[in-house]
Amino acid sequence: MTESYPLRTFIGHAVLILGILIVAFPIYYTFVASTHSLQTILRPPLPLLPGDRFVENYSEALFGGVGRIGGVSVGTLLFNTTVMALGIALGKICISILSAYAIVFFRFPLRMTFFWLIFITLMLPVEVRILPTYKVMVDFGLIDTYAGLIIPIIASATATLLFRQFFLTIPGELVEAARVDGAGPFRFFKDILLPLSKTNIAALFVILFIYGWTQYLWPLLVTNRNDMNTIVIALRKMISFADADTEWHLVMVTCMLAIVPPILVVVLMQRWFVRGLVDTEK
Amino acid sequence: MSPRVVFPNKILPYLLLAPQLAITLVFFYWPASQALYQSMLREDPFGLKSQFVWFDNFARVLADPNYLNSVRVTAVFSIATAAVAMVTALLLAVMADKVIRGRGLYRTLMIWPYAVAPAIAGMLWLFLFNPSIGTLAYGLRWLGIAWNPLLDGGDAMVLVVAAASWKQISYNFLFFVAGLQAIPKTLIEAAAIDGAGPTKRFWTIVFPLLAPTTFFLLVVNTVYAFFDTFGIIHAVTGGGPGKATETLVYKVYNDGFVNLILGDSAAQSVILMVIVIALTAIQFRYVEKKVHYG
């Protein structure tokens, strides 16, 4: 062990606590603001402690509907966002595990071509092809639909690469044994491969759920109707810094409702989250 | 590598690949090829005729002072964001590596911002620093600092950099902590016995051994600052005031989707494509090396 001074440990804790204050303060303060009345928020400085309007503000936003976004309630927005995040996470996992299965456990013409076709999509994010993609969406009638929010972005090079890498570590003997015992490709996939991939799937799910929940450009392009917006896009519409009629107390409630679900997922599934982060970046 | 044991089916693998391939062809390759094609077309103002102009659009875009401004803005924004996010995270990770008690708790509290959408991170910071109602802006005014991110380009840049790097600290922190844990303690102890103090040990042993992690994070943070921060710019500043925070991705979106300048926007898309390809290539080349570091 190296030298240990109580002072150094103390400085370590002090710096960490300061860091956590910086990291947590904006979120904490949003919560504080979400429990105060609009009048209190409009007169800075805002108190450091929560106010007494928690129940009123949250029920108004969740069930009452917000004026600036056409009276859509935050409940609807949360539903849309949940559908999108779950759809993207599960969709990406299903589609990628099947592709990786085909590429690793079968031999067929053009196998590597297909692999590279999937891999290269890494280099074609939505940002570099906004307009033509939008046009495809219009042609298919996918604007303002859940399918439009989900399907076009569930192709996943990262997830396919991850599953492929994992499948390559599965010993050939296992496949052989399964085949000797008369298991076909479906049986092998369902009874052997899927159970073995459980940890990978859980780790990937956390990362992809956050990815889906925090999407911005895609729902911005694909949704026009207020009741099809995700919560992040609706928030953008609720805020106007130019005029004074932004309903800040509702904005702050919506902010909290937009960040609490993914934070819970990350904190409660921390083990898989950290694993997923490390895995997906390999 | 020995030949793998495989299933003999001929049709099945194509069926398994079909969904992913269909999506990539329809929603990735087709639009990308359209972007390439349109980047060499010039449409008349009414969208009736279009003419093939080879690289004219590129020449015009690259000579456009607005575009060059946006290149500069993106460079400043990316470098500042990556630097702030990485230096802060490294400092915190080094401290977390020192303390023994409460390490798990610190990590749990540190990872929150990862789950916050970039656009919302931007809104939280704008709420704190908004000149009319922001409590921290009120504090700045009280200290006598003139601050208005809605009117001053420099202030706006500081605000978006703060929001963007705040969100990225958790990610960098986790990777730096993992990188620090991978450094053999015996090396550090040996240096301590030879009389090197903590500062010297950090710069001569820890920091060089962290280089792979640092380089990897540099690439990831650059990609993040280039692409994932679109939401922050769009939600907080809208590229303003006066194009002071108009990044390349925001400009592509604005020119193409809002102002409908098709040829120029497509040319910008293709330039971005080249940037992504370069960044991805660097990232994957690096991953090859990471294997050697263990």
pLDDT higher than 60, residue B2: no
Say yes or no for a CB contact (<8 Å) between B265 and A131.
yes
pLDDT, position B1: 41
Calpha distance A41→A49 (Å, rounded): 13
Cβ-Cβ contacts under 8 Å, B12 against chain A? 102, 106, 185
CB atoms within 10 A of CB A192: 16
Q: Are A258 and B126 an interchain contact pair (Cβ–Cβ within 8 Å)? A: no
Smallest CA–CA distance, residue A266 to chain B, in Å, is 7
Residue contact B135–A273, C-beta within 8 A? no
Topology of domain B55-293, per CATH? MetI-like fold (1.10.3720)
- Best residue in B10, B27, B130, B136 for a mutation probing chain A (most A CBs within 10 Å): B27
Does residue B170 carry a pLDDT above 50? yes
Question: Which residue among B28, B120, B257 sits closest to A155, beta carbon to beta carbon?
Answer: B28
pTM of the model: 0.88
- Residue ranges per structural domain of chain A: 72-280
A195 pLDDT higher than 50: yes
- Do the chains contact at B170 and A12, CB–CB below 8 Å? no
Q: Among A78-92, B4-18, B80-94, where is mean pLDDT lowest?
A: B4-18
User: pLDDT per residue over A82-115, tens digit each?
Assistant: 999 999 999 999 999 999 999 998 888 888 899 9
Mutation target for B interface from A78, A129, A221, A269: give the one with most B CBs within 10 A: A129
Q: CA–CA distance from A57 to each of A27, A48, A109, A252, B89 (Å)? A: 17, 18, 61, 9, 35
For chain B, domain boundaries: 55-293
Q: What is the pLDDT of residues A227-248, one digit of tens each?
A: 888 898 888 888 876 656 777 8
Count interface pairs A-B at CB distance under 8 A.
296
Instruction: Read off the pLDDT of each residue in A57-79 and give the average, rounded to a whole number.
Output: 79
Q: Among A127-131, B132-136, B262-266, name the most confident range.
A: A127-131
* Cβ contact, residue pair A19, B95, below 8 Å: yes
pLDDT at A90: 95
* pLDDT value of position B186: 87
Predicted confidence (pLDDT) at residue B260 exceeds the cutoff of 60: yes
Task: Work out the average pLDDT over B57-67.
Answer: 83
Is B17–A99 a contact, with Cβ atoms under 8 angstroms apart?
yes
- What ipTM was reported for this prediction? 0.85
Contact B16 A102 (CB under 8 A): yes
Per-residue pLDDT averaged across A267-282, rounded?
77
Which long-range contacts does B278-283 make (Cβ < 8 Å, 24+ apart)? B279/B219, B279/B222, B279/B223, B279/B226, B280/A122, B280/A123, B282/B219, B283/B216, B283/B219, B283/B220, B283/B223
Distance CA A130, CA B273 (A): 12
Write down the H helix ranges in B39-64.
56-63
A56 has a pLDDT exceeding 90: no
Give me the CATH code for the A72-280 domain, please: 1.10.3720.10
Express each pLDDT in B108-125 by its tens digit: 888 888 889 999 999 888
Nearest-by-Cβ selection for B31 from A11, A133, A172 = A133
